Amino acid sequence: MSDVKNHKVHSVAHHFANAGHEFESAKLGMWVFLVTEVLFFGALFVAYAFLRWAYPEMFVEAHHLLDWRMGGLNTLILITSSFTMVMAVRSAQVNQRKQTSAYLLATLVCAFGFLIVKYLEYSAKFHHGYLPAKFFTGQAVSEHIHLFFGIYFMMTGLHGVHVLVGIGLIVWLLIRNQKGDFYSDFFTPLEMVGLYWHFVDLVWIFLFPLFYLVG
Amino acid sequence: MDNKIVNESLIAGKGWFPSDVSTFGQNVDGLYNFILWGSVILFIGIIVVTTLFVIKYRKRPGYVQPAGKHITHHLGLELAWTVPPLILALFIFYWGFTGFLDMSVSPKQGEEVRVVAKKWMWQFEYKNGNKALSELVVPVNTPIVLVMNAEDVLHSFYVPNLRIKRDVIPNRYTKVWFEATRTGNFQIFCTEYCGDGHSEMQGTVRVVSQAEYKKWLADGGAVDESLPLDKVGEKVYTAKGCVACHSVDGSPKVGPSWKGIWGTTHQFVGGGSAAVDENYVKESIYDPHAKVVQGFQPVMPSYKGLLNDREIDGVIAYIKTLK
Amino acid sequence: MSQVAVGTNYINATKGLKSWLTTLDHKRIGIMYLLFIAISFALGGFFALALRLELLNPGKLLFSAKQYNQLFTLHGAIMVFLFIVPSIPASIGNFLLPLQIGAKDVAFPKLNLSSFYLYLFGAIFCVYSMVAGAADTGWTFYTPYSTTTDTSVISMTLGAFILGFSSIFTGINFIVTIHKMRAPGMSWFRMPLMVWALYATAIIQVLATPVLGITLLLLVIERVAGIGIFDPALGGDPILFQHFFWFYSHPAVYIMILPAMGVMSELVTTFSKKNIFGYKMIAYSSLAIAIISFLVWGHHLFVSGQSDYAAMIFSLLTYLVAIPSAVKVFNWIATMYKGEIDIKAPFLYFLAFLFLFCIGGFTGIMLGSLSLDVYLHDTYFVVAHFHYVMMGGTVMAFLGGLHYWWPKMFGKMYSEGAAFVAWLFIMVGFNMVFFTQYLLGTKGMPRRYYSYLDQFQPLHAFSTSGTWVLTIGFLIMAFYLVESLLNGKQAPDNPWGGLTLEWKTQSPPITENFLDTPIVDSDPYEYDKVKV
Amino acid sequence: MSAHSHLDGHHSHFIVPVRYYVGALISLLVLTVITVVVAQFNFGSFNLLIAMLVAVVKAGVVISIFMGLKWEKGFNRVAFLGSLVFLFIFFLFVFSDVLFRSYRSPLEATQINLKSPVKKLEPGSGHH
Question: Could you report the predicted ipTM of this complex, rounded to two decimals?
Answer: 0.90
* Assigned domain for D58 exists: yes
Under an 8 A CB cutoff, do B151 and D103 touch? no
Taking the C-alpha atoms of residue A64 and residue A50, their distance in angstroms, rounded to an integer, is: 20
- What's the length of chain A? 215
Out of B10, B165, B200, the one facing C375 most closely (by C-beta) is B165
Residues D66, A209: C-beta atoms closer than 8 Å = no
B13 in the same domain as B73: yes
Report which residue type is found at A30. M
C-alpha angle C459-C461-C465 in degrees, rounded to nearest 5: 115
- Cβ–Cβ < 8 Å for C167, C176: no
What CATH number has the domain bearing residue C290?
Answer: 1.20.210.10
Q: Which domain holds residue C76?
A: 26-504
Subunit contact B114:D103, Cβ cutoff 8 A: no
SS3 C415: coil
Q: What is the pLDDT along chain C (532 residues), one digit of tens a residue?
A: 445 566 789 998 898 999 999 999 999 999 999 999 999 999 999 999 999 999 998 888 899 889 999 999 999 999 999 999 999 999 999 999 999 999 999 999 999 999 999 999 999 999 998 888 889 999 999 989 999 888 889 999 999 999 999 999 999 999 999 999 999 999 999 999 999 999 999 999 999 999 999 999 999 999 998 888 998 888 889 999 999 999 999 999 999 999 999 999 999 999 999 999 999 999 999 999 999 999 999 999 999 988 888 999 999 999 988 889 999 999 999 999 999 999 999 999 999 999 999 999 999 999 999 999 999 999 999 999 999 999 999 999 999 999 999 999 999 999 999 999 999 999 999 999 999 999 999 999 999 999 998 889 999 999 999 999 999 999 999 999 999 999 999 999 999 999 999 999 998 999 999 998 899 988 899 988 876 5
Residue D45 domain flag: yes
Smallest Cα distance from B176 to chain C, Å:
10
Cβ atoms of residues B322 and B259 within 8 Å: yes
What A139-143 contacts at long range (C-beta under 8 Å, 24+ apart), as own/partner pairs, is: A139/D123, A139/D124, A140/D121, A140/D122, A140/D123, A140/D124, A141/A61, A141/A62, A141/A65, A142/A57, A142/A58, A142/A61, A142/A62, A143/A58, A143/C235, A143/D120, A143/D121
Record: contact B149-D117, CB cut-off 8 A: yes
**Any B CB within 8 A of C58 CB:** yes
Residue A14 CA to residue C137 CA, distance in Å, equals 47
* Cβ-proximal residues to C475 (8 Å cutoff; 6+ apart), any chain: none
Q: Examine the pLDDT at B6 and tell me if it is beyond 80.
A: no
pLDDT recorded at residue B238: 75
- The pLDDT score that the predictor gives to residue A54 is 87
Question: How close is the nearest chain D Cα to the Cα of A86, in Å?
Answer: 6
Locate the chain C residue with the closest alpha carbon to D75.
Answer: C179
- D79 reaches A (C-beta below 8 A): yes
Q: Is D107 on the interface with B (CB under 8 A)?
A: no
Whether residue C77 contacts residue C135, with contact meaning beta carbons closer than 8 Å, is answered with yes
Same domain, yes or no: B128 and B263: no
Nearest-10 crossing angle of helices B25-56, B83-104: 160
B204 lies in the same domain as B239: no
Residues of C in contact with D7 (CB under 8 A): 184
Higher pLDDT, B291 or C82: C82
Find which of B108-112, B123-127, B227-231, D117-121 is predicted with most confidence, using mean pLDDT. B123-127
Facing residue for C184 by CB, picked from D7, D75, D93: D7
Q: Give the total number of structural domains in chain C.
A: 1
- Confidence check: pLDDT of A31 > 70: yes
User: Does chain B reach chain A with at least 3 CB pairs under 8 Å?
Assistant: no
CA distance B26 to C191: 50
CA distance B308 to B310: 6
Both B213 and B243 in a single domain? Answer: no
Round to whole Å and give the CA distance between C181 and C183.
Answer: 6
Residue B286 and residue B249 share a domain: yes
Between CA D29 and CA C111 the distance in angstroms is: 37
pLDDT score for C80:
95
Residues in chain B closer than 8 A to C302 (CB atoms)? 100
Length of chain B: 323
In a domain, C532, yes or no: no
The chains in contact with chain C, meaning 3 or more Cβ pairs closer than 8 Å, are A, B, D
Using only C-alpha atoms, what is the Rg of chain A? Answer: 20
Contact A209 D39 (CB under 8 A): yes
**Can you give the residue ranges of every domain in chain A?**
19-213
Share of chain C above pLDDT 90, in %: 84
Selected residues 119-148 of chain C with any CB under 8 Å from a CB in chain B: 136-138, 142, 144-145, 148
Beta bridge partners of B185: B206
C86: closest CA of chain D, how far (Å) = 23
For C427-475, the pLDDT digits (tens) are 999 999 999 999 999 999 999 999 998 889 999 999 999 999 999 999 9
- For position D112, what pLDDT does the model report? 42
Residue type, B73: H
Neighbours of C482 (CB within 10 A): 12
Predicted confidence band at B255 (pLDDT cuts at 50, 70, 90)? confident
Residue C14 domain-assigned (yes or no): no
Q: Is residue C253 part of a domain?
A: yes
CATH architecture of A19-213: Up-down Bundle (1.20)
Higher pLDDT, residue A104 or D110:
A104
Chain D residues with CB-CB distance to A143 below 8 A: 120-121
Question: Is C338–B65 a contact, with Cβ atoms under 8 angstroms apart?
Answer: yes
Contact partners, residue B183, CB within 8 Å, separation at least 6: B140, B207, B208, B209
What is the residue-averaged pLDDT of chain B? 86
Residues of D whose CB is below 8 A from B149: 117
Domain match, B108 and B189 both = yes
Q: How confident is the model at residue B299 (pLDDT cuts 50, 70, 90)?
A: confident
How many alpha carbons lie under 13 Å from residue C33 in its C-beta half-sphere? Answer: 34
Is residue C215 a part of any domain in this protein? Answer: yes
Burial tier of A147 (Cβ tally within 10 Å: 0-12, 13-18, 19+): buried
Percent of chain A with pLDDT over 90: 67
Residue B266 belongs to domain spanning: 229-321
The three-state (H, E, C) secondary structure of B262-289, written as one string:
CCCEEEECCCCEEECCHHHHHHHHHCCC
D87 inside 8 A of chain A by CB: yes
Query: Given this model, what pLDDT does residue D92 score?
Result: 93
Distance to chain A for D89, nearest Cα, Å: 11
User: Which pLDDT tens digit goes with each residue over A43-76?
Assistant: 999 999 999 988 888 888 888 889 999 999 999 9
Q: Which of A127-141, A193-207, B165-179 has the highest mean pLDDT?
A: A193-207
- Number of other CB atoms surrounding residue A177 within 10 Å: 24
| Nearest Cβ partner for B90 among C303, C308, C319 | C319
Same domain, B201 and B236: no
* Residues 6+ away with beta carbon under 8 Å from C271: C341, C342, C343, C344, C346, C347, C350, C496
What is the chain D residue with the closest CA to C184?
D4
Q: Which residues are CB-neighbours of C232 under 8 A, at least 6 positions away?
A: B169, B170, B171, B172, C144, C238, D118
Domain harbouring B180, CATH code: 2.60.40.420
Considering the domain boundaries, does residue C193 fall inside one? yes
> Is C13 part of any domain?
no
Mean pLDDT of D17-26: 93
Q: What is the pLDDT averaged over residues B270-290?
A: 84
Answer whether residue D119 is part of any domain.
no
Burial C21-33 (b: 16+ CB within 10 A, else e): eebbbbbbbbbbb
Q: What subunits make at least 3 CB pairs under 8 angstroms with D?
A: A, B, C
D and A touch per CB criterion (3+ pairs under 8 A): yes
CB contact under 8 A, D101 and C305: yes
Q: Which residues make beta-bridge pairs with B159?
A: B164
Rounded average pLDDT over B97-119 = 87
Positive or negative CA dihedral for B65, B70, B72, B76?
negative
Tell me the whole-structure pTM to 2 decimals.
Answer: 0.91
CB A42 within 8 A of CB C248: no
How many domains are there within chain D?
1
Give the Cα separation of C54 and D104 in Å (integer).
Answer: 42
d(CA B296, CA A74): 52
> Chains with 3 or more CB pairs closer than 8 angstroms to A?
C, D
Q: What is the pLDDT of residue A215?
A: 58
Q: Which residue of C has its CA nearest to D87?
A: C207
User: Shortest CB distance from C307 goes to which of D75, D97, D121?
Assistant: D97
Per-residue pLDDT band for A5 (boundaries 50, 70, 90) equals low
* Domain end point (choices B165, B189, B221): B221
C452 assigned to some structural domain: yes
